[in-house]
Each structure stands twice: as structure tokens, then as C-alpha cells.
A and B are shown apart, each in its own frame.
Chain A
């Protein structure tokens, strides 16, 4: 049972470099999410996609772009990485399609990203 798969697991970038984080889910879920986790701040939503072909900004979208390639895949792109983007990034998915909000989200194992 793969669930939500994120690649890569670790990455070190230099300031100004670009990178795409990949996420795929095999649960036929409608909604997908990208979060960042920083010490003392919990998880904060970057972008989400309620269905294939739609994306919306979350709490901290600046410096990021996303693509919902198909129902399975949702990628996060850093166009010009900055040290403030050093974090652990989590992808999640759920069955929710604006249904009233009690469907749990399923998380990947995260990508640990360091920007020097």
C-alpha cells in the first residue's frame, strides 16, 4: 500500500536554484495539498487542489508554484530558492471535494529541503 509518495526525500540547494518536488497518490483521492513544517509552527498550507485542473493558494504561497498534472500527481516548484524556504515539505491527499470537511488527510513521509 503506497498511499502518498513524495520524491526526493532529501535535497540541498543553493540560493537561486530551482527545484520541483513530486507527489503522487494511489488512493483515487480528489483533493491534494502541500504543507511546510517548521519548528514551533506546526504545518502551514502552501497550496491545495480540490480537483484535477484546479489549484488555490493556502496560507503561505509566496515563492511557490504548483501543478495538478492529473488526478494522481501534484507537484510543488520553487523557482528561485531562498534560505527562508528551508523546511520539511509534506504532501497530503483526501477524498474531500468540498463535501463539508470531515474527510481525513493522508500524508506522505516528507521532503527535507535545505537551502544554503
Chain B
């Protein structure tokens, strides 16, 4: 069945460092791909999405490109801030379905 694999955390960075969180997927057909962020004590918020191959999703300085050839959707940010500390979830939604399949989440900790 469809699945999502994320790099294990925590990822610990200093402020202004470059961030990459790896995400790969297995799916039949042409899924849509999402990154969600969860701040402490809160629910998940949509960060960005891409619905077809080579699409780039972006928001708040974060970017991810839908790479069908490598089945990947890695999250990147050029300069992280302390306020970016959160848990990041990669997810996919299969074609012709409205159900999300989540990865296990990656905790990011950014220190001043």
C-alpha cells in the first residue's frame, strides 16, 4: 500500500542554518504531496503542497519539489529561525481519494 518515510529526528540546528528534512514515498498512480507543521500543544497546519510532478510548493520561506523520478518531496529552508522549532510531517493523498497518509514526523529544534 501507499506509504511515506521521513528522516528520524530530532534535527538540531543553530539559527540561520540551512534545513533539509528528507521525505520519500511509495504510491500507485499520481499522489498529491503535503508538508504539515505541528507547533507544541497545537494541531497540524498545512505548510505547503504539490499536486503533480516537478511542482514546487512554497510558504514562509520553506520549499519542497515533487520529484517523481526519485519519489521524494524533501523540505528545505535557507535560514531557520527559533520560531521554526516544531514537528514536521510529510503526507501523501492518493489519486481519487481524500485520505491522507502521514510519515512519522521529524522534530526540528532551532537554538539561538
Contact with B along A85-104 (1 / 0, CB 8 A): 00000101010111111111
B104 touches A96 (CB 8 A): no
- Known contacts A42-B105, A58-B99, A90-B43; decide if A101 and B94 are in contact (CB<8 Å): yes
A107 touches B44 (CB 8 A): yes
A109 at the interface (CB under 8 A from B): yes
> In the docked arrangement, what's the CA distance between A33 and B100, Å?
10
A100 touches B96 (CB 8 A): yes
A48 at the interface (CB under 8 A from B): yes
Q: Which residues of B contact A4 (CB under 8 A)?
A: 43
> Interface size of B by Cβ–Cβ distance < 8 Å?
26
B43 touches A42 (CB 8 A): no
B41 at the interface (CB under 8 A from A): yes
> In the docked arrangement, what's the CA distance between A50 and B99, Å?
10
A109 touches B43 (CB 8 A): yes
User: 19 A-B Cβ contacts within 8 A?
Assistant: A33-B100, A40-B104, A41-B104, A42-B4, A43-B89, A45-B99, A45-B100, A97-B98, A98-B98, A100-B95, A101-B32, A101-B98, A104-B34, A105-B46, A106-B46, A107-B45, A109-B41, A109-B43, A110-B43
- The 6 residue pairs across chains A and B that have the minimum distance between CB atoms: A96-B98, A107-B43, A42-B102, A102-B32, A101-B93, A42-B104
